[in-house]
Structure 1
Amino acid sequence: MKKIALIFSLLSLFLITACSNDEPTPQDRFDQYISHWNNQEFSEMYNMITDESVKTYPTEKFVDRYQNIYEDLNISNLQVTYEELSEDQIQTAMDNGTAQFPFTVEMESIAGPITFDYEATLIKETEKGDEEEENWFVKWDPGYIFPAIQDGGEIGLETTEPNRGEILDRNRMPLAINDTVHEVGIVPGDLGDNPEQTKEEIADLVNMSVDTIDSSLNQDWVEQDMFVPLKKLPPSAEDTVAQLSELSGVSFRDVSGRVYPLGEAAAHLTGYVSQATADDLEELDAEDADQYDADDTIGQRGLEALYEEQLKGEEGAVITAVSENGEETVIAEKEVENGENIITTIDADIQEAIFESYDGDSGTAAAIHPKTGETLALVSSPSFAPDDFLYGISQSKYDELQNDPQQPTLNRFSATFSPGSAIKPVTAAIGLHNGSIVPGEGMEINGLTWSNGEGWGDYEVRRVSESNGPVDVTDALIRSDNIYFARKGVEMGSETFIDGMQQFGFGEELPFEYPMTASSVSSSGSIDDEVQLANSSYGQGEMETSALHMALMYTPFLNEGDMLQPTILADAEQEQVWKEQLITNDEATLIQETLRDVVEAPNGTAGKAQDADFPISGKTGTAELKQTADEDGEENGWFVGYPTEDQDVLIAMMVEDTKDRGGSAYTVEKVTDILKTIK
């Protein structure tokens, strides 16, 4: 009997222990709640609060409120932790049916990090469902969201938009700034007897549809005596403002807006800002995209886009708990950080002078300080008005720009073009340095054409003028002799010629803040055909370069053989060398003196530069754009020029379609006038 009683006693103890182990503990239950909280699973959390809490706080005061507050405050990196109970504390809680858990909440918000401590109470209740089983539930109140609203109140958020940084030139003159602009709007009650006609007139003047105007007027908050904003107008829209002022119901207010004082002259350089679109945000990293709201502006094109991170600044924010009697408690605060100003090396006067000199012509130009590498101007013509895109461009205006054969929205200064004879000083420098060209050594050239034998078929290299006697490198540069450079290129051979061009930066990205297309000797990077090699030697063939790179390739002639590194930022280190000792000082001096003779000599190709009352040096170039020798193609005219003595500015300018306007002489005239204007 004793043995049977002992077995029964042990069996009973096992069953009691097993039942005890299956019973949920408050700690296990709070673990689940915390897990849902960290994952922001608010519906699941709501299913774990007490019956009394459910009666006090229906779904919209729990699930919806959590979601709205966390979304409005941009809550992220949420981490809720708590102090675990000891075994004795758990047993006491099991016996009493209630448990307390001090916990800590940490999170990131729109106003910075937030941390608070609170205490959770869990109560054992009958679980909701078909089977009446007991479980632990959280006794919830709004203090779990933020302790400051435990006894009621609301969460407030106030944001402060940063001022966008401004883009300035080297003299702190404005390129892209924040200024006062007119915002046109309508007071609905003042539209007069014929509101539909008035709206049509307004729509026509501000490039909006009547439907868009109606959408603004039909917003829920609009009342008859309220100002309803429609569109910002730039300071240049004075005529439009005057016409709008005569219409019934139209009103204005001054607001802050982005202004581009140089307009079209610097549009490709500065770019513009516009309201951030879904496509814009998709191109950003998730972390960067979170920094933008639906109505925020973002840089489009140019420096506005390139330096978006520095320019945009960071929004300021204050999160407050507002009690039922109106008292505010600050939960988190982040000061607004205005955007940084970008001080460039650009000279607004030079930028504007070059653009105006185009006078509607197509082309591109770069101006640099040849002794420091500072970029003074980057010009693309024709251009567009950045205000059109900033303040809303009409579809008809957009279509007009896109269909314009001159392609005003094409950024030419970041693109590459055939350099023509403007590359000859570089070919000369390569030849002088590798020994294939010897100073003073003449080449016998007869006639105006040359072919290197049967392998060339009917193709011939043509020069503009015949020479009187042997042609040396100086004479070849002065008269721009294609045959001399073609023969020297063939003599060097493809490998040596390409290597020399690579020494001058061909096939390599420019070490420059603004992205530029790399210059190339050919579409493939190699030259396998002798005719192509001959043509490439004087800037034809498939060779292409940008205006900025062209300007930089002349800096070794003025800096004892060193090619400078360009910069567009005023605070960047100046006089940085990109390519060291490409040529010797003697070779640089020879070419520099010859570039003066190109202007000064009676048979030089840049004689029009003598019109200035100070000496100018430089080299012309005519790039023929045709697929075959027999084709009558267009021509682009180049001139790279600088003041011979001061040497504080060097301009590389290309004008398209100069064939019937004097060729490169047309460009020489423009560069000369620019230098006369800015000197």
Structure 2
Amino acid sequence: MFMVVVLAACSEKPKPEDRFAEYVSMWNEQDFNSMYERISSNTKEKIAIEDFTKRYENIYSGIEAENVKITFNKPKEEVETKDKEDITFPYNVSMETIAGKVEFTHEATLVKEELEKGYNWFVQWDSTHIFPQLQEGQEVKVSSSQPVRGEIYDRNGNPLAQNGKVYEVGIEPGKLGDEKAATLTELSSLLQLSIEEIEAKLNESWVKPDLFVPIKKIDPNNQELAVKVSSLQGVFLQKEVSSRYYPLGESAAHLIGYVQTISAEQLEKLKGQGYTRSSKIGKVGLEQVFEDRLRGETGWKIYIPNGEVIAEKPAESGENITLTIDAILQANAYSQLKGDAGSVVAIHPKTGETLALVSSPSYNPNDFIFGMSNSTWKSLNDNPLKPLMARFNKTYAPGSTLKPLTAAIGLATGITNPEEKMTIEGKTWAKDNWGGKSITRVSTNLTSVNLNDALVTSDNIYFARTALAIGNEKFEQGLQSFGFGDELVYEFPTTKSTISNNGFSSEGLLADSGYGQGEVQMSPIHLSSTYSVFVNNGSMIKPYLEKKDAAPVFWKENIVSPAHAELIYNSLYQVVNHPQGTGYKPVVEGVNIAGKTGTAELKVSKDVAGEENGWFVAVNNEASLLITMMVENVKDRGGSHYAVPKVKELFR
């Protein structure tokens, strides 16, 4: 009986439905070599196994096919094959592609072929099995359409990053004539490109005498330059070329950033995210921060040339983004720095809206769009003032601008009695066990000093002693309550402010920290936020950059009591309005502000004189504008007083 069963099984005739089910299983596994073994002999005569497998692999790879699913509903009853040489079965194909989902129904014909022993069924394959529209000899192509990049606007709808029409300067080589050398020399000077850079473009393989060779895009507002270059023989101005454009130029370069063509490394890293070799991508600033929202979705089309479209997904424009920035204040703040190394942060202290973020020196982001000469790029990189670096989000020693925070901590811990007088004699003070270390007063000779006196005259000794009285642990906790050590959740990545490198390792370090020296480091953005405490009843506003309709959010609530906040604010008002105040001069009519100056000394060692950074933080009486300015290297230029008139002019 066993032998009868075995012989019966061995003699069972092959079924076409089983044969095709096996083929579909291989297809789902994308085992194209095994699929080839199941196709008919006459098909194999037309296509070699290498070509068969490569065609599937190349097409599926080119269209980025994923989740390829072939469905064959095998008949429930055995298919009648008597006297039949071929059988046809329907099947369904679905897949996700770069251009969206592709689905189709097609038919496969299986033919009976005689073998040495018996026969079997084989798939009569042709290219329509890949796509019904694909005929022999045709190719599947993929094309992309770039989305319109979203634009960035200020709070009043003024463009900060826009898609505009600009001029493009180009040359028709055949029309340069005998004065070619003189023309290229003049053009080199006008466009700030070397002659070698221009000639490299003219010597590209595609260039012909009568073709327009693009050399450089230029600012559409520079009409004088446009007239000069177009007057040169063989040089032409192509109008209305689409381009990204930054109207504020240097004033907002570090804030907005710029776009460039994606690099090969980035393209590989972002593979599968819709970028192509010609895509523009945000390199720095908000162009980079908001890249995913600004860039939109690339459009894709899978098609057969001179044939049908297999799948198409239209491009989707990027999102427009409106900031809280005021373009006029941004430009004015940049002009006040006038090339000095420094930064300006302006916020609305009641709402948290960021009104200006400026870093200087700067660069023109349009140069990255229109074409930057090698010499310009070299000068930017070699400049010791680092014009490519944003400063408003980095950390620096805050100097005396930290003293209101020390005052707030002293009041909150009960260490400071605002009316109590501290006796301070002479210009310097030190504890007996400090060795050669001492603390120096700069602005006052008062011998009896209360909190208001200390803030108005910016007395280093008063705040050094206050920090020592508060103690390591409570002083550190107090600064932490102001956000030190915390990540600022803010649209523009910002370095965390820090108290010390490794705790207060000595009394001297704690004392220095009390007046903003030591190892204390703050970003101008964070410092601006901390001063909002004094106009918000003791709570610190959370700054933000993108315009929204929402109630103000406090980053830290109830850091100090409303009474203490008012007390410190009144002293800050006297800093600017009392003749003995460090922020009193110059008096600017119509400007009514409270504020605090700060000079931070940057020493490599105690024996070497260091550079100085000058700070001024101020808020107007209406509490609608708070400005922080930091200027580097103000030693021998008045220290923090160098920044005071600049900030007052911004308020004016």
Aligned-partner Cα distance in 1 for 2:296–2:465: 58
CA 1:99 to 1:428, structure 2 compared with 1: closer, same or farther past 3 Å? same
> Which digits, 9 at most, give the CA deviation of each residue in 1:525-575, with x for residues without a partner?
x21210000000000001010001111111110011110111101026341
Higher mean C-alpha displacement, 461-470 vs 195-204: 195-204
Counterparts of 1:144-163 in structure 2, within 5 Å, are 144-149=129-134, 159-163=144-148
Structure 1 position 26, deviation (Å):
4.0
Structure 1 position 126, deviation (Å):
6.0
Aligned-partner Cα distance in 1 for 2:26–2:180: 56
Higher mean C-alpha displacement, 249-258 vs 434-443: 249-258
* Among 555, 575, 585, the residue aligned to 1:578: 555
Which residue in the other structure is 1:618 paired with?
595
Q: Which amino acid aligns with 1:181?
A: V
Q: Is the 8 A contact 1:276 1:297 kept in 2?
A: yes
- Verify: 1:371 aligned to 2:350, yes or no: yes
* Among 82, 89, 93, the residue aligned to 1:101: 89
* Among 643, 646, 650, the residue aligned to 1:667: 643
Q: Which amino acid aligns with 2:104?
A: F
Aligned-partner Cα distance in 2 for 1:549–1:169: 22
Report the number of matched residues.
650
Aligned-partner Cα distance in 2 for 1:649–1:659: 28
CA 1:201 to 1:546, structure 2 compared with 1: closer, same or farther past 3 Å? same
Identity in percent: 44
Q: Is the 8 A contact 1:620 1:640 kept in 2?
A: yes
Aligned-partner Cα distance in 2 for 1:209–1:60: 51
Structure 1 position 511, deviation (Å):
2.1
CA 1:216 to 1:151, structure 2 compared with 1: closer, same or farther past 3 Å? same
Which residue in the other structure is 2:381 paired with?
402
Which residue in the other structure is 1:192 paired with?
177
Which residue in the other structure is 1:51 paired with?
41
Unaligned runs of 5+ in 2: none
CA 1:32 to 1:381, structure 2 compared with 1: closer, same or farther past 3 Å? farther
Q: Which amino acid aligns with 2:298?
A: E
Aligned-partner Cα distance in 1 for 2:317–2:361: 34
> Which digits, 9 at most, give the CA deviation of each residue in 1:642-661, with x for residues without a partner?
22x22211101110111111
Which residue in the other structure is 1:4 paired with?
none
Structure 1 position 438, deviation (Å):
1.1
Aligned-partner Cα distance in 2 for 1:71–1:415: 45
Structure 1 position 394, deviation (Å):
3.2
CA 1:93 to 1:162, structure 2 compared with 1: closer, same or farther past 3 Å? same
Structure 1 position 256, deviation (Å):
0.9
Aligned-partner Cα distance in 2 for 1:64–1:237: 54
Which residue in the other structure is 1:522 paired with?
500
Aligned-partner Cα distance in 1 for 2:192–2:117: 69
Q: Which amino acid aligns with 2:217?
A: K
> Which digits, 9 at most, give the CA deviation of each residue in 1:316-361, with x for residues without a partner?
3444567xxx6x6554332321100110111111111111111110
Higher mean C-alpha displacement, 493-502 vs 233-242: 233-242
* Among 384, 392, 397, the residue aligned to 1:418: 397
Structure 1 position 211, deviation (Å):
7.6
Aligned-partner Cα distance in 2 for 1:530–1:345: 43
Which residue in the other structure is 2:10 paired with?
18
Counterparts of 1:310-459 in structure 2, within 5 Å, are 310-320=293-303, 330-454=309-433, 456-459=434-437
CA 1:195 to 1:578, structure 2 compared with 1: closer, same or farther past 3 Å? same
* Among 515, 524, 531, the residue aligned to 1:538: 515
> Which digits, 9 at most, give the CA deviation of each residue in 1:153-193, with x for residues without a partner?
77565643211000111111111110001233343443435
Q: Is the 8 A contact 2:201 2:215 kept in 1?
A: no
Which residue in the other structure is 2:544 paired with?
567
Aligned-partner Cα distance in 2 for 1:528–1:405: 33
Aligned-partner Cα distance in 1 for 2:117–2:209: 61
Structure 1 position 402, deviation (Å):
1.4
- Verify: 1:481 aligned to 2:459, yes or no: yes
Which residue in the other structure is 1:302 paired with?
285
SS of equivalent residue, structure 2 residue 596: strand
Q: Is the 8 A contact 1:25 1:94 kept in 2?
A: no
> Which digits, 9 at most, give the CA deviation of each residue in 1:290-323, with x for residues without a partner?
x10001000011100000010001123444567x
Q: Which amino acid aligns with 1:271?
A: G
Aligned-partner Cα distance in 1 for 2:329–2:348: 12
Counterparts of 1:63-142 in structure 2, within 5 Å, are 66=56, 69-86=59-76, 88-89=78-79, 92-93=80-81, 96-125=84-113, 135-142=120-127
Structure 1 position 453, deviation (Å):
1.6
- Verify: 1:641 aligned to 2:621, yes or no: no
> Which digits, 9 at most, give the CA deviation of each residue in 1:84-105, with x for residues without a partner?
244612xx35974534332111
Q: Is the 8 A contact 1:642 1:650 kept in 2?
A: yes
- Verify: 1:267 aligned to 2:253, yes or no: yes
> Which digits, 9 at most, give the CA deviation of each residue in 1:227-268, with x for residues without a partner?
344443343565654454244443333211000111111111
TM-score (norm 2): 0.91
Q: Which amino acid aligns with 1:111?
A: A
> Which digits, 9 at most, give the CA deviation of each residue in 1:420-474, with x for residues without a partner?
00110111011111111112111111111111222x1011111014444521110
Aligned-partner Cα distance in 2 for 1:397–1:359: 20
Aligned-partner Cα distance in 1 for 2:92–2:137: 21
Structure 1 position 281, deviation (Å):
3.3
* Among 558, 566, 578, the residue aligned to 1:601: 578
Which residue in the other structure is 2:220 paired with?
235
Q: Is the 8 A contact 1:432 1:587 kept in 2?
A: yes
Q: CA RMSD in A?
A: 3.0
Q: Is the 8 A contact 1:103 1:119 kept in 2?
A: yes
CA 1:466 to 1:234, structure 2 compared with 1: closer, same or farther past 3 Å? closer
Aligned-partner Cα distance in 2 for 1:364–1:178: 28
Q: Which amino acid aligns with 1:34?
A: V
Aligned-partner Cα distance in 1 for 2:426–2:438: 12
Structure 1 position 73, deviation (Å):
3.4
Unaligned runs of 5+ in 1: 1-6
Higher mean C-alpha displacement, 598-607 vs 211-220: 211-220
Aligned-partner Cα distance in 1 for 2:187–2:554: 56
Aligned-partner Cα distance in 2 for 1:47–1:215: 53
Which residue in the other structure is 1:280 paired with?
266
Aligned-partner Cα distance in 2 for 1:247–1:44: 67
Which residue in the other structure is 1:3 paired with?
none
Which residue in the other structure is 1:470 paired with?
448
CA 1:153 to 1:404, structure 2 compared with 1: closer, same or farther past 3 Å? closer
CA 1:265 to 1:153, structure 2 compared with 1: closer, same or farther past 3 Å? same
Which residue in the other structure is 2:128 paired with?
143
Q: Is the 8 A contact 2:299 2:314 kept in 1?
A: yes
SS of equivalent residue, structure 1 residue 83: coil
* Among 229, 249, 257, the residue aligned to 2:243: 257
Which residue in the other structure is 1:499 paired with?
477
Q: Is the 8 A contact 1:203 1:213 kept in 2?
A: no
Q: Which amino acid aligns with 1:386?
A: P
Aligned-partner Cα distance in 2 for 1:282–1:592: 54
CA 1:14 to 1:582, structure 2 compared with 1: closer, same or farther past 3 Å? closer
Structure 1 position 76, deviation (Å):
2.7
Q: Is the 8 A contact 1:373 1:574 kept in 2?
A: no
